[in-house]
Amino acid sequence: MKKKKIAEGIAFLVISALLLFGVPRYVMERVIVDGGSMETTLQNQDNLLVEKVSRYFGALDRFDIIVFYPNEEFKEEDKYYIKRIIGLPGETVQIKGQTILINGEPLEESFGSSEMETAGIAAEPVLLGEEEYFVLGDNRAVSIDSRSSSVGTVPLSRIGGKIVIRIFPFRKLGTVDK
């Protein structure tokens, strides 16, 4: 009887440790918006939940809002970007004025809350690799995104996950526009 209670206690501790450390690391975690690059969809200091599993199954789609890290060593998880996927692997992205072209065709979207002042690297066609994405902030006048050579295209290896729900402020609790 005593051995059974000890075994149950150990099992409880192991399961608790997996939930406490495994879920935030591998399944879902909270991030906080820092800045105005995703306005009006997301506001500075919005608290969001990021689902981290779907990226492993090729479930990232155009217009998903993702979290990605500025470099390959994304273990430094206190520095991240939150942007919207515009271009998918294998596509060619180009920006002419305010028009985003995907494979030469205008992209129909209404997420941009401000005019783009520059096309950046996308002034010329950008061919995305097998696991590369082109991302833009919704507030295009201030967003540092794939147009910038300091960010560039985003390889799947730097994507932490996609935003699934806003948890704070409570008055905006719910899913985020896609």
Both structure tokens of 68: 């990605």
CB 160 within 8 A of CB 66: yes
CA distance 170 to 65: 20
CA 119 to chain centre: 21
CB 62 within 8 A of CB 84: no
CA distance 7 to 112: 56
Cβ neighbours of 41 (radius 10 Å)? 20
Q: Is 22 helix (H, G, I), strand (E, B) or coil?
A: helix
Active site residues: 37, 83
Q: What is the CA radius of gyration of the chain?
A: 19
- The residues, ordered by sequence, that sit 6+ positions from 175 with a Cβ below 8 Å of its Cβ are 164, 165, 166
